[in-house]
Structures are given as structure tokens and as C-alpha cells.
């Protein structure tokens, strides 16, 4: 498209956010600022992630900071970085994080937004130098600005998201986000310290040939899923599973595929969290023309009942998700 051409010449994330704000005059400057806050925190986390293997000898490089944070695990550091950026930014009143049991009230009287975040997902992969990610969802608070935060503000279904995104700390670092007008991806240029638009208007292929699931738990899968896996094998699909949600999702979004974290007999709701893992990726998937389901219904229509609730997740190319749902239904 013409816009892709116009975008391709060195558009930074900051400029892109500004351009989008001008395109959609009703979009508030606050949301733009909030996205910039997240991008800034992600640059810091990216820097820490790149140094992960040096953590134990960090002191030798004089990286001790006043908080003594070099002693902490990277997911804890990431949580601190993101919450701090959101606190200082002022647009957010409350944060739900995988790293905190309770809602964090940021005490920002004028904050209109609520953020749900997994600051560093797949952190068990850090020690072995494999891609990890940040996942975030942004909601508008339901109660009036300035009043105390309530459950109503926090427990919103995914279809209420105003923006969502992820950062992939991979062979390159990328930030991908949507504000409900398609999905755009930005690649980090290390030496310039800027994200540049590299993947304008991302589109999930309608169908694909990759299935991503931890088959080690096969014996605990329901019959329909076992049958769907046989179907994938009959079709000679490729099995790809990094075990890092953002990386697995991102690959399948670009190449066409399905990512599944199913219900198992041991974990009847699966492993992944609705509020800060499934919803954000579901919104992005749908905005790119993909689909996201818990096997039976649209992820974005699930009404959350608790902060850290889990959901099975079937996400990716729409035809693959529909096919998997068909198998589950047929073997109920
Ligand atoms: P985490 O939030 O504790 O990091 O766990 C989430 C991760 C996902 O990134 C990944 O897709 C999944 O757990 C892998 O789980 P498993 O090892 O059970 O296949
Ligand atoms: Mg996680």
C-alpha cells in the first residue's frame, strides 16, 4: 500500500505514534505518552537483557546502581522498570502485573488508564539465552478519574482494550502494538536507541503450517486436541515450540501457524494468564486478521473473575484456530 511506502523511510516509533494521533483526532495525547513510556522502559529492559549473562560479574564493570538492582532477577528488574515508567508517566492509575499478587495503585489522581502487564515472560529462558518478551494491555478506567480504583476498572474483558502490545527481546528487539487500527511492528536500532517501523500493517496469514504446543503433556490432553495434533501430523505441518510465548506467537503471526497452551488434566485452565498474557495477544492477533480462542469461545469475550486467572489459549491463523475448535467440539 502507499502508506507502507511512506512509512518505510526511517519512521521512528515516536513519530509513528504522533502520526497516528493526528490520523485519529479523538485519540488522546495521554495514550500516546503512555505508549512512549512503555517503549522507554522496554529499552532499559532490553539493555539489561542483553547483559544477562554478565549478571554475576556485573560488579566488575561498576554497574552497581543505587538500588543495588544488579542483584535482582531480571523479571523483578523488568517489573520495577515498567511500573516506575508508568508511575512517572502519570497517565496510568493502576497496574496488574504477573510479578505482583495485588493490584498496584499508582496513586496517580489524574490517570485515566489501567495497564495489565507481564514484564518479562518466559524468564526461565534467560539463563539459556533464548528470546523472552514483555506483554501489555491498556484499558480506560471505568470509574471517574480521581476516585478510588475498583474491581470494575481492573477486571475488564479483553474486548475493552484500547491498546495492547508486546516486546520481543530476540535476535533483534521488536515492539509490536495495536490501538485498534491494525498492528505495526518496530525494530530496535541499538546504536541509535530508537525503534524504527519495520513491519507496517502486519497481517496474519489466513492459514498456516506450523503448530506450537508442548507435546510433552500429550497424555493429559483432551481427546479433541489429540485428534487435532494427529491432523497436523497427517498434514505434515512443522512443530515449532520455543517455550517463550511472545517468540512463538510472533513467529506464527508472521509465518502462519497456531500456538496452543491447552487445558490439561493437571491444569484444567492451562497455564497462561488471561489478563496480561492471553488478552493482549488475542487483541493483536485479531487486529492482524488472526483469531484467539480458549478452545470454545473468543478470548476477548471472557469476563475475568480474578486477577491472575488462567485460560487455555488457541491463537494464530484464523483457519487453524477454527479447525482446532472443530476437533474439540467433535470430541466433547
Ligand atoms: P512464565 O509466565 O512463568 O514465564 O510462563 C509462561 C511461559 C510462556 O512464555 C510459554 O509459552 C510457556 O510458559 C511454556 O510453558 P511450558 O514449559 O509448560 O510449555
Ligand atoms: Mg508470563
**pLDDT digit string, tens, across residues 209-218:** 999 999 999 9
Distance of alpha carbon 113 from alpha carbon 102, whole angstroms: 17
Pairing state of beta strands 313-316 and 291-293? antiparallel
* Share above pLDDT 70 across residues of the chain, in percent, rounded to a whole number: 90
Q: Cell triple for residue 214?
A: 508442548
Mutation pick for ligand 1 pocket among 98, 258, 267, 271 (CB with most ligand atoms within 8 Å): 271
Q: Is 241 annotated as a binding residue?
A: yes
Q: Specify the pLDDT at position 146.
A: 85
Q: Is 277 annotated as a binding residue?
A: yes
Cα–ligand 1 centroid distance for 124 (angstroms): 8
Q: Whose CA is nearest to atom 17 of ligand 1?
A: 243
Q: Is the CB of 161 under 6 A from ligand 1?
A: no
Cα–ligand 2 centroid distance for 146 (angstroms): 31
Average pLDDT of the residues of the chain: 91
Mean pLDDT of 165-181: 96
Distance of alpha carbon 167 from alpha carbon 247, whole angstroms: 9
More confident residue, 71 or 192: 192
Q: Provide the pLDDT confidence category of residue 8 given band limits of 50, 70 and 90.
A: low
Which one of 21-30, 53-62, 278-287 scores highest in mean pLDDT? Answer: 278-287
Mean pLDDT of 219-230: 98
Length of the chain: 332
Q: Provide the pLDDT confidence category of residue 2 given band limits of 50, 70 and 90.
A: very low
Q: Cell triple for residue 242?
A: 520455543
Could you tell me which residues come within 8 angstroms of residue 312 by beta carbon, excluding any fewer than 6 positions away? 260, 261, 262, 263, 269, 270, 272, 294, 295
Mean pLDDT of 17-30: 77
Over the stretch 150-170, which tens digit does the pLDDT of each residue have?
A: 989 999 999 999 999 999 999
Distance of alpha carbon 180 from alpha carbon 140, whole angstroms: 14
CB atoms within 10 A of CB 238: 12
Distance of alpha carbon 252 from alpha carbon 114, whole angstroms: 28
Mutation pick for ligand 1 pocket among 74, 99, 122 (CB with most ligand atoms within 8 Å): 122
Q: Is 294 annotated as a binding residue?
A: no
Over the stretch 82-136, which tens digit does the pLDDT of each residue have?
A: 999 999 999 999 999 999 999 999 998 889 999 999 999 998 888 899 999 999 9
Cα–ligand 2 centroid distance for 118 (angstroms): 6
Amino acid at each position: 500500500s502507499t502508506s507502507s511506502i511512506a512509512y518505510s523511510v526511517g519512521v521512528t516509533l515516536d513519530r509513528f505514534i504522533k502520526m497516528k494521533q493526528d490520523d485519529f483526532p479523538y485519540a488522546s495525547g495521554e495514550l500516546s505518552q503512555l505508549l512512549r513510556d512503555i517503549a522507554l522502559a522496554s529499552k532499559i529492559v532490553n539493555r539489561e537483557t542483553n547483559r544477562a549473562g554478565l549478571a554475576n560479574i556485573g560488579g566488575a564493570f561498576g554497574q552497581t546502581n543505587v538500588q543495588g538492582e544488579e542483584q535482582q532477577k531480571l523479571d523483578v528488574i523488568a517489573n520495577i522498570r515498567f511500573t516506575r515508567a508508568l508511575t512517572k508517566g502519570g497517565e496510568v492509575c493502576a497496574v496488574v502485573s504477573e510479578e505482583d499478587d495485588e493490584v498496584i495503585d499508582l496513586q496517580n489522581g489524574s490517570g485515566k488508564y489501567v495497564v495489565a502487564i507481564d514484564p518479562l515472560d518466559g524468564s526461565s529462558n534467560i539463563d539459556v539465552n533464548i528470546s523472552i518478551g514483555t506483554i501489555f494491555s491498556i484499558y480506560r478506567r471505568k470509574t471517574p478519574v480521581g476516585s478510588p480504583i475498583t474491581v470494575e476498572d481492573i477486571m475488564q474483558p479483553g474486548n475493552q482494550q484500547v491498546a495492547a502490545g508486546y516486546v520481543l527481546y530476540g535476535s533483534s528487539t521488536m515492539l509490536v502494538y495495536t490501538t485498534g487500527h491494525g498492528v505495526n511492528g518496530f525494530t530496535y536500532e541499538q546504536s541509535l536507541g530508537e525503534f524504527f517501523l519495520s513491519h507496517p500493517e502486519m497481517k496474519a496469514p489466513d492459514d498456516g503450517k506450523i503448530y506450537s504446543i508442548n507435546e510433552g503433556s500429550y497424555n493429559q490432553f483432551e481427546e479433541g486436541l489429540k485428534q487435532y495434533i494427529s491432523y497436523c501430523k497427517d498434514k505434515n505441518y512443522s512443530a515449532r515450540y520455543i517455550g517463550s510465548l511472545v517468540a512463538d506467537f510472533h513467529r506464527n503471526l508472521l509465518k502462519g501457524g497456531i500456538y496452543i497452551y491447552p487445558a490439561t488434566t493437571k491444569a484444567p485452565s492451562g497455564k497462561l494468564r488471561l489478563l496480561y498474557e492471553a488478552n493482549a495477544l488475542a487483541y493483536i492477533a485479531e487486529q492482524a486478521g488472526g483469531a484467539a480462542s480458549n478452545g470454545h469461545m473468543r478470548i476477548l469475550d471472557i469476563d475475568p473473575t480474578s486477577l491472575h486467572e488462567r485460560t487455555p489459549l488457541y491463537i494464530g491463523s484464523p483457519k487453524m484456530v477454527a479447525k482446532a475448535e472443530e476437533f474439540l467440539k467433535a470430541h466433547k
